[in-house]
Amino acid sequence: MVVMNERFAPPPRFRDAADQAHDLAIAQAGSDDFGEAGYREGLRILLLSMDRDPRFTERGRRIAWGSIVAALAARAHAIGSMKDNPGFDAQAVLRPIVITGIPRTGTTALHKLMAVDPRFQGFETWLNAAPQPRPPRASWEGHPLFRDVAAQLASRYAAVPDVVTAHAMAAAEVDECLFILRQGFVSNFWNSGWYAAGYDAWWQAQSERAAYDHYARVVQLVGCREPNKRWLLKNPGHIANLNLLFAVFPDASVIITHRDPARAVPSLCSLLMKSHPLMDEGPADLRARMMLARETEKWATAVQKAQMVEQTHGQQILHVIQSDLHRAPMAVIERIYRFAGLDLGDDVRAAMATRIADDPERQHGAHRYDLADFGMSGAAIRARFGAYVDRFDLVGARR
């Protein structure tokens, strides 16, 4: 997924432009400190891949380059803000609630539903782009960085209108941790916006531990003015890195959402492919087929890794079936609150009931796609996930 940051003219060759990207980020962030240098190898591989793998459109080159500069600027902003706020990490992040699961399994809907509870704090979209201690809510609309992110989202939806039906974002709403983790340049973010096979092959052989260490410090930074307020976090990618998540947040309460992978994975690919005509001149049908095969393998492996971590952290994990969330959302919420040791309360219950009735996720229409466009049958997708499908009865009575 890409946000349309097109203000910078791309270089003739990306692989020679790491210093230029840093200079642009410094000018944008007002800080020249990017923290520990481990991220530079991922950046180097990504820039090489951008010269070799995609067939960028001219606008795609600008957007991809803008994404690189934005991630570096966000990293510099975070590190600079840490230096400006000594003691931001004085208190540990206690008992965060973390939502994860294969993409397109209801993680976003659940995250935004729970976020109506004012007892939680999360990563608002604009703070993902400019990590800092969270300013008072009344000041956000006057903040130039807030307005910048809002404008970029508007540009994105104008360029690819169908994206809003599949995954709506807003500057003031909570969003996923992926936009913090991408600052380490060892992230599945970088193979989602454009064809990046070379980077993807490298990334899959790497550990994301350094990115998770940085992410945990950013959580402390953003929440340092309300250190006792419980965090509500969400990122599908955590399901592949539960070991790292528990390493940085040992007492986390993790909610894993589940859906038939023969529906979830093609839905993800359909979402990612919506930006293809804007970004890449390569054949869409071939990329779609390659993408479904890749994403099926990626998320099947992630599920297997999560099951291994569950053997030692099972008491900290709650499983939620997406169809249960659709059919009886408040019953699911009550299970989650009992699991997290929280009282629901009448005011929160009423606010959640209002959001459920408004159904904002469907206000923009239904996300539709045809599995035939991706060259793989539902049975073949399920077969790669093995016993996982049966364990949660994902194509049985619940569906």
> CA distances (Å), 215 to each of 91, 182, 201, 226, 245, in order?
15, 9, 23, 18, 10
Sheet (strand 97-101) strand order: 120-121, 230-234, 97-101, 253-258, 317-321
What is the pTM (predicted TM-score) of this model? 0.92
**In angstroms, how far is the first alpha carbon of the chain from the final one?**
28
Give the domains, in start order, of the chain with CATH numbers: 92-391 (3.40.50.300)
At 82-100, the pLDDT tens digits run 999 999 999 999 999 999 9
Q: What's residue 99's pLDDT?
A: 98
Confidence of residue 144 (pLDDT cuts 50, 70, 90): confident
Task: Report the DSSP beta bridge partners of residue 101.
Answer: 257
Contact status, residue 272 vs residue 188, Cβ threshold 8 Å: no
Contact status, residue 188 vs residue 181, Cβ threshold 8 Å: no
Which residues, 6+ apart, have CB-to-CB distance to 270 below 8 Å? 166, 367, 369, 373
- Mean pLDDT estimate for the chain: 92
Which has the minimum average pLDDT: 146-150, 173-177, 231-235, 238-242? Answer: 146-150
Q: What's residue 164's pLDDT?
A: 42
At 184-214, the pLDDT tens digits run 999 999 999 999 999 999 999 999 999 999 9
Provide mean pLDDT across the span 116-133: 94
Q: What's residue 247's pLDDT?
A: 98
The rounded distance, in Å, linking the Cα atoms of 312 and 265 is: 27
